[in-house]
Structure 1
Amino acid sequence: MPDSTLSAPIVTLAGRPVLDCLPAASTISGKIMSRFVVNSALAARVPLAVLRRDVTAMVGACLELTARLLADDDTAKPLADVRAGAIEWAYEGVPIDTMHKAVNDGLRVMFDHLIAQASSDRDHDAMVELARVFVELSSRLATVISEAYLDEMRAAGGDDTDAVTAALMAGNATPAMARASGIRLAESYVVFAVEFVLHHEQADPHPDRQIVAPRVVRSVRAEVLRHCGDHALMQMGNNIATLLIPRDHFDPADAERFVERIAAAAQRQARATCVAVGVDSVSEAVERVHAVLDIMRRLRRVGLERFEDLSLEYQLSRPGAAGKHLAAILDPLEPHPVLLETLTAHLATRSTRLRTARALHVHPNTVDYRLNKIAEITGLDPMQSDGVWRLRSALVARMIGVGEQGQDSRADPDRSAPTAQAC
């Protein structure tokens, strides 16, 4: 099939698989663009390149949906892509009838292209099957687009919901306040803090912030709605989202997959943490997960880390003499930055000398020499379990405790790190 990676021929037309007979995605999107832009004021507000990208993505999703219907395959992914695109258009002010017309124009181009290749005698059964598929295709697209517009309308009018969310996070929400906004407070919540980080290799030197940032918010909100329905409460700003999801509408075992999906929706890497608490402890939990998120940022970790996974790091980040004492263990290594680098890599690779050597691009014997020097200088052997535990704690205390020396030293490591380090 042109402009597609799918090839699951089920029906043939003029002796060829139907999927090979479909028009190119670029042909369909070009015709939609020529009709859509001329009759829409949207082009004055949104760059033409962004419009073309959105239309091309929508056409690609419709072609994939057609292929999956013909192959009787799972249609969840292309329908989700169509839904995300419809939410974008709804936000940009495209009327729903214009959206339906653009999609129907694309379907008509596809169907007319197939009819033109059919032989009335031998392709009768194929055309009957194609008519059935296109009726189903039109029905599913109309449904998902309408639902997307309703979701965007609900989000646009969500001032009351935002007020309840803010009050719940601050510990001031009451059942009466929630009921007045049409919200029923749950008995317990899974509290998420998620930060979205640009892939360094995808960083745009001239990003259009006015378009990119709102689109990230809408894409993430759409994915949260898709995963949790309208039960989740969400606040997002400065690329950090705070989510409150009722426990009876979310399986904590699915947290990692959930984070992967919203990261994919945002087209970013994500670092995230979560904790489950009762409704009366939401405010404290919000503060706690954001503190853990800050620890992850300074440790240059991405992915999901549950609160219990970083409980030691969290405790060491609390004010007190113990953390300062642990951090001071590594003071003798200050004049030896290579040794500090080696220790950090060694602990990050679970104290495996061969992995440490690969990470540092040195010979394993060099790693052994440096580890022996660390033991000689600090009195703690990084190749023995007791030494590893104390050195790891000292390194964590040192890395997450630098903020006591001033705000400048707590600069976001993502800005200086060449790549984000997966945990």
Structure 2
Amino acid sequence: MTFSTTHRPHGRSRSVLRIGGRAASTPLRNADRIAEHVLRSFQTSVTPSGPLPAEQLREDVTQLTRTCLELVTEMLDKREVPGPDQLGVVCEAATQWAHDGVPLSTVLRACHEGVRVAFGLVTAPAKAADVDELLIAGDLMLEMLNAIIAGASDAYVAEQLLVAKEQHSAAETLASALLSGRGSAALSRQAGVHVADSYQVVALSIPDDDDVSMTATVAARRRLRRLRAAIATVFSPHALAVLSATGGTLLVPLGDENGPIFEADTLAELSESAEVTLTATVVISGTEQIPESADQAHELLTLIHAGQRAPGLYHMSDLDIEFQLTRGGSVTRRIATILDPLRSYPELLDTVRAYLANDMNRQRTARRLYVHPNTVDHRLRRVAQLTTIDLATSTGICRAAIALLAYDHGRNDPGQT
């Protein structure tokens, strides 16, 4: 059975609701006294949090209580729950509190306290003969509370989304400015983020996932949204980020002893939250050198992909030899030519790559290539015949590793092909 005010028989449906021999709204006429009572109850049951001073919060709660009392009074007299167009003041208050950073729980508790106290005052003088009117009053109050909470929540969330969008846009603008060498105090104030003296410049790579239940575009968008949320949780409001579906750049300020920094555990946390395995490189940089450092970090990331390294966090010290070889020049080009005879034999080049990646273990190399170990031995002998690189010796292994780095760099650099 539905106990709704729209279905419960009210008798004279438009008559004033009466409890205790008088209009049910009578106890609500003294708005000042009731507002003070609500405020005391609110302050006892809720510990205010957020940036608003106590006096401002007191004034806001008092005003919200007055508004709710007016709505409840009119509702009891007309036996009608206020429509959304009548909740403007409540929605405006919720919007302002969202802008001021007052928690949503505080907003909803303030609304609830006002209606709860009002209901207690209305029902206090009830007698045995008032059961039907009490049930109607209860229904009205519940529907009223539902309308207020829905309106306040919608207004609060809408404002929070708007504020978050503005902050994200300003922070991304500042990050782009720093990455292009145009960081300024004005942009810093607009973003509400302090520009530090030095940063960890992090290049991030987001791989495709294996989710085939949705389109690639939707999957990429979800990965990016999860990563943004994870970065905001771990670093906000300290870090600045410019991200796309394939990766991007993160600027983590240094110098604050209590501030988070980007470490292997951080990357693992972001990967878990974003539900995708991330790869990252880190370069320490002064603020003025951020553009050059970002180029360097992304160049290191390119080297990781070219060398088919495992996902994880890498520093310059992990890739110093590879990085030096990418400086180009005649020496690098000459080293790369050592593997030129293998261009016509891609299976031999793949075998060299797999052999080095598996620490010269022929069994693991064979499993990776889906061939017999004897086939690996045969191919390595063939490589030695074509290139004079003998992978059975330490010298040959060293030459092959360096030559492969130079070869891969030349293949991925259009200027050297």
TM-score (norm 2): 0.56
Distance 2:215 2:385 in 1: 50
One of 284, 290, 303 as aligned partner of 1:295 = 303
Match of 1:270?
278
Distance 2:326 2:264 in 1: 25
Match of 2:251?
244
Distance 1:152 1:308 in 2: 42
Distance 1:241 1:264 in 2: 18
Q: What does 1:179-328 correspond to in 2, within 5 Å?
A: 179-199=189-209, 201-204=210-213, 206-207=214-215, 209=217, 211-247=218-254, 248=256, 255-301=263-309, 302-328=311-337
Q: What does 1:28-39 correspond to in 2, within 5 Å?
A: none
Distance 1:348 1:186 in 2: 40
| SS in structure 2 at match of 1:198 | coil
Which protein shows a greater Rg?
Answer: 2
| SS in structure 2 at match of 1:191 | strand
The alignment status of 1:390 with 2:399, answered yes or no, reads yes
Deviation, 1:163, is 2.0
Deviation, 1:266, is 2.5
| SS in structure 2 at match of 1:189 | strand
Match of 2:356?
347
Q: What does 1:130-209 correspond to in 2, within 5 Å?
A: 153-158=162-167, 159-199=169-209, 201-204=210-213, 206-207=214-215, 209=217
| SS in structure 2 at match of 1:386 | helix
CA contact under 8 A between 2:230 and 2:270: conserved in structure 1? yes
CA contact under 8 A between 1:274 and 1:306: conserved in structure 2? yes
Deviation, 1:352, is 2.0
Distance 1:261 1:385 in 2: 39
Deviations 1:92-134 (A, max 9, x none): xxxx79xx89xxxxxxxxxxxxxxxxxxxxxxxxxxxxxxxxx
Distance 1:250 1:315 in 2: 33
Q: Which amino acid aligns with 1:328?
A: T
Distance 1:155 1:344, change over 3 A: same
Deviations 1:301-333 (A, max 9, x none): 433222321222222223322221111100112
| SS in structure 2 at match of 1:223 | helix
What is the identity percentage for the equivalent residue pairs of Structure 1 and Structure 2?
32
The alignment status of 1:381 with 2:385, answered yes or no, reads no
Distance 2:386 2:219 in 1: 50
Deviation, 1:153, is 5.0
Distance 1:197 1:305 in 2: 16
Q: Which amino acid aligns with 1:271?
A: T
Structure 1: stretches of 5+ with no match in the other structure: 1-89, 91-95, 102-146, 410-423
The alignment status of 1:332 with 2:341, answered yes or no, reads yes
CA contact under 8 A between 1:330 and 1:378: conserved in structure 2? yes
Deviation, 1:213, is 4.2
Deviations 1:21-66 (A, max 9, x none): xxxxxxxxxxxxxxxxxxxxxxxxxxxxxxxxxxxxxxxxxxxxxx
Distance 2:382 2:367 in 1: 19
Deviation, 1:168, is 0.8
Q: Which amino acid aligns with 2:297?
A: V
Deviation, 1:151, is 7.5
Deviations 1:221-264 (A, max 9, x none): 22112212310001112421210011235565x62222222223
Distance 1:265 1:154, change over 3 A: farther
| SS in structure 1 at match of 2:278 | strand
Distance 1:288 1:384, change over 3 A: same
Q: Which amino acid aligns with 1:160?
A: A
Distance 1:191 1:154 in 2: 27
Q: CA RMSD in A?
A: 3.4
Distance 1:323 1:157, change over 3 A: same
Aligned residues: 266
Q: What does 1:44-55 correspond to in 2, within 5 Å?
A: none
Distance 1:214 1:404, change over 3 A: closer
| SS in structure 2 at match of 1:257 | helix
| SS in structure 1 at match of 2:183 | coil
Distance 2:242 2:182 in 1: 16
CA contact under 8 A between 1:196 and 1:263: conserved in structure 2? no
Distance 1:381 1:217 in 2: 45
CA contact under 8 A between 2:206 and 2:245: conserved in structure 1? no
Structure 2: stretches of 5+ with no match in the other structure: 1-97, 99-103, 110-155
CA contact under 8 A between 2:235 and 2:260: conserved in structure 1? no
Distance 2:279 2:171 in 1: 26
Distance 1:396 1:180 in 2: 44
One of 380, 384, 389 as aligned partner of 1:371 = 380
Deviation, 1:152, is 5.1
Distance 1:217 1:365 in 2: 45
| SS in structure 2 at match of 1:157 | helix
| SS in structure 2 at match of 1:274 | strand
Distance 1:149 1:390 in 2: 61
Q: Which amino acid aligns with 1:270?
A: L
Distance 1:151 1:242 in 2: 26
